[in-house]
Amino acid sequence: MKTALIVDDDEQNLYLLKTLLESNDFCVVLAHNGAEALEIARRSPPDIAISDILMPMMDGFSLLREWNREERLRKIPVIIYTATYTDPADQKLAVSLGAARFIIKPAEPELFIAELKQVMAAYAAGSITATVEHFEDNQEYYRMYNEALIRKLEKKMLDLEQEKEQRRCSEEQVQRLAHEWQETFDAIEDGICLIDAQQRIVRHNKAFVRFVAKPDHGIIGRRCWQVVHGTDEALPDCPVLKAAKSLRRESLELDLRDKILLVTVDPILDRNGTMQSAVHIIRDITELRKSERSLRLKLDELQRWHKVVLNREDRIIELKKEVNELRKEAGKPLRYGPDGEA
């Protein structure tokens, strides 16, 4: 019996998919987020994994990235099964991270099971394997990842505004959409705030509060540099002001409270091409930079040892030449070649 690992934070989705797979002779294991799925798979690898994208702690994109970094797990196909990330760019990102298939919910049960079996058979036969795009650097991955999050947030905001303007939904439906939007916002580990054209914060997620270490009630309505840096004026290279002029993404690395942070600002333009608001994202890249410094130090150490070895080899050759000269003066045959080789 084949084992399928289902990864979804929605209990109803887990139940429905578990029922379908068990009725088709699968042994099913459940996980509620990517981090839990990785722990289960490392302990007992399944034959296939089916994962949602929008989840707390670790979403489907991050799960794919970590999954295909491990030699043992890379041989196991992962199918993305989502109802929230449906843009072609989302599919492109998932496939570049190693997804075997990208299926949009809800799928016909018979077609879904047929797709699973086809993928498993192809992996077992070795006719297909996870194709993982090797990004030139982490910045490229973060760019694509952030763009997927921004698309999701913008869609949620647009849906919410349309619902408010049309007044077709009941108050309960509006509250449900607002709650879903905030859950999406708060599920993101990066610190994110939305700012208006005057660089004032109008909304933020829970992670943003942790990054700036400020009381929740003292953030809304203030300019981002007042909250992030504690200054009354923007930094000379402030990415918010630069994005307002360039009308494109701007980034800046900051050393703040013993952490290295990557601040990225994506402008949102109105119909006239003017920045009406922006998405301000803070990512902790401290460990990434520490790893890079560690690698550089190791490389420097290897280079120093390489020079030492070369210097020793040169000295040995010189000593051999000196021995030859002494033997020559003594009228004895040379022990080494003319260039000091053995």
Is-contact 129 75, C-beta < 8 A?
yes
pLDDT computed for residue 136 by the predictor: 44
Q: Which residues of the chain have pLDDT under 50?
A: 135-136
Q: Over the chain, what is the mean pLDDT?
A: 82
How many degrees, rounded to 5, is the angle at CA 90 between CA 260 and CA 164? 90
pLDDT digits (tens, 9 = 90+) for 192-203: 889 998 889 988
Give the amino acid at 238: C
pLDDT of residue 17: 93
Strand pairing partners for 203?
194
The contacts of residue 256 (CB under 8 Å, 6+ apart) are: 228, 229
Which has the closest alpha carbon to 51: 68, 37, 40?
Answer: 37
CA dihedral 282, 251, 150, 14 (to 10 degrees): -50
Does residue 106 have a cis peptide bond before it, meaning omega lies within 30 degrees of 0? Answer: yes
Homologous superfamily assigned to 2-125: Response regulator (3.40.50.2300)
Structure tokens at 161: 């505004």
- C-alpha distances in angstroms, 95 versus 33, 60, 90, 219, 295? 19, 12, 9, 38, 29
Instruction: For domain 188-284, give the CATH number.
Output: 3.30.450.20
Position 309 scores a pLDDT of: 65
Amino acid 231: pLDDT: 84
